[in-house]
Amino acid sequence: MKPNLIALTLALALAAPPALAWSRQGHQLVGEVAERQLSPEALAEVRTLLADEPEPSLAGVSTWADEIRAARSPLGELSKRWHYINIPGKDCDYMPARDCPEGDCVIGAINAQARVLADRSQPKQARVEALKFLVHFVGDAHQPMHAGHPHDRGGNNHQLHYTGKGSPEGEGTNLHGVWDYWVVQSAGLDDAAYADRLMALPAPADPALGADNPAQAWALESCRLIQAEALYPRDRRIGDDYLDQHRPLAEARLRLAGTRLAELLENALAP
Q: Which residues contribute to the site for Zn ion (CB under 5 A)?
A: 21, 83, 140
Q: Smaller CB distance to Zn ion: residue 104 or 240?
A: 104
Q: Smaller CB distance to Zn ion: residue 43 or 100?
A: 100
Count CB neighbours of 251 within 10 A. Answer: 19
Q: Please state, in angstroms and rounded to a whole number, the distance separating the CA atoms of residues 178 and 155.
A: 9
Q: Minimum distance from CB of 145 to Zn ion (Å)? A: 11
Q: Minimum distance from CB of 27 to Zn ion (Å)? A: 8
Helix or strand (DSSP H, E) at 10: helix 3-13
Q: Smaller CB distance to Zn ion: residue 81 or 158?
A: 81
Q: Smaller CB distance to Zn ion: residue 22 or 162?
A: 22
Count CB neighbours of 111 within 10 A. Answer: 14
Which phi and psi angles does 211 have, rounded to 5°?
Answer: -65, 150
Ordered DSSP codes for 155-215: TTTSEEEEEETTEEEEEEEEHHHIIIIIHHHTT---HHHHHHHHHHSPPPP-TTTT-SSHH
Q: Which residue type sits at 38?
A: L
Q: Minimum distance from CB of 235 to Zn ion (Å)? A: 28
Q: Smaller CB distance to Zn ion: residue 42 or 146?
A: 146
Q: Minimum distance from CB of 83 to Zn ion (Å)? A: 4
Q: Minimum distance from CB of 91 to Zn ion (Å)? A: 25
Question: What residue number has its CB nearest to Zn ion?
Answer: 21
